[in-house]
Amino acid sequence: MLNSEYKDDALKVYLSGEIDHNRAANIRTSIDARINALRPKTLELDFSKVTFMDSSGIGLIMGRYRSVGLVGGALKVTNVPPRIEKIIELSGISSLGVLG
């Protein structure tokens, strides 16, 4: 179960632990259900408690970028630990302007 809060048309999801292939699928399903139900103007993914992320995490971010965009919203990725930020930058996601 993911912790999240919805306030002022913004959905903030607090990610934690490891984001790998097995866990990313469950996270995607959970976030997409909330996006479809709430149709937020902003989806914020808070990475402050993420300890590990592989390429599945990149797919998770890109997919939520598309999902929230389909309902007219924008993605923001916040509180990214330095080692995970480096992975995000190498993937090219930072060029989308989602890091905040």
CB atoms within 10 A of CB 44: 21
E runs forming strands in the chain: 3-7, 10-19, 42-53, 74-78
In angstroms, the CA 14 to CA 9 distance is 16
Instruction: Say what the pTM is.
Output: 0.94
- Would you say 98 and 68 are in contact if contact means Cβ atoms under 8 Å apart? no
Residue 1's pLDDT is 67
Residue 94's pLDDT is 86
Report the pLDDT averaged over residues 45-54: 96
Class of domain 3-96 as given by CATH: alpha beta
Report the pLDDT averaged over residues 32-49: 97
User: pLDDT tens across 70-84, in order?
Assistant: 999 999 999 999 999
